[in-house]
Amino acid sequence: MNNIILGHKRDGLKNSKEHNLNVCCPDPISPILSVVKSSDQKILADIYQDNVSMVIWERPLTRLADYSSSALSLAPNLVLKAQDSPEKLERLLKSLLPEAEYKEVFLQDIRLLMDMFACLFDLEQVGLRLNALSGAMCPRFHVDKIPCRLVTSYQGNGTEWLEEADVVREQLGRGGNPANHNSGLSEDGRVQRLQAGDVAIMKGDNWPALTGHGVVHRSPVASLHDQRLFLSLDMV
């Protein structure tokens, strides 16, 4: 398994309803937020920077793409959702995922991401969701009401998101048009997209230093002929 090298982390960040969050909160004004990217996995630790709303570890899929394609072919309706320690979740995945070449590489990669996430936020357990998708789970732009979430796509298009300058927050949720999937995007705004293989940690509205300014994002279009294999990790 690859070594986890993330640099320094602050005290563990967990659900604000159950834990004290030891993150410095800036003055309650609209923050100037940035998204940072790197091919170095250590970029994930920058999620603790107050002016950073999302970190993206850019990486190629290589053999992971081969297994992902096989998994979608063998289990096109795959839906896995569980919470436990990374070790136990890895064993669960091993027992449930279809057998194909590079399965062990795929399992090792998910274990690496779970260990990274648990290390960053001082977690004993993580919430895992691994889905084969033939449609958009959340087609409208929205913000997650959680501290943060790790997302990656092993196959198909990645999550779409907006730069803060391109967001009209008053048009999100109940303030927008339910029939307009671009509601929340400014008139001249541009939709950004993660690439397959990219690993992102996005701050949500419950990140204490970013209340009300979580990353605005949505699921990309998918179909039976262009499925996604999507992984997300949450705090529990």
* pLDDT at 87 > cutoff 60: yes
Question: What are the pLDDT digits (tens) for 123-152?
Answer: 999 999 999 998 666 777 888 999 999 999
The 3-class secondary structure across 164-220, one letter per residue, is HHHECHHHCHHHCCCCCCCCCECCCCCEEECCCCCEEEEECCCCHHHCCCCCCEECC
Question: What are the pLDDT digits (tens) for 172-196?
Answer: 765 555 556 666 677 788 888 999 9
Q: Which of 7-16, 21-30, 46-55, 61-70 has the lowest mean pLDDT?
A: 21-30
* pLDDT at 74 > cutoff 60: yes
Contact 198, 89 (CB under 8 A): no
Task: Choose among 215, 96, 104, 195: nearest CA to 153.
Answer: 195
Average pLDDT of the residues in 148-167 = 90
Distance from C-alpha of 6 to C-alpha of 46, rounded to nearest angstrom: 9
Which is higher by pLDDT, 61 or 5? 61
The domains located in the chain, with CATH, are: 34-235 (2.60.120.10)
In one letter, which amino acid is 2?
N
CA atoms within 13 A on the CB side of 28: 3
* pLDDT at 26 > cutoff 70: no
Q: What's this model's pTM, rounded to 2 decimal places?
A: 0.84
Helix, strand, coil percentages, rounded to 5, for the chain: 25, 25, 50
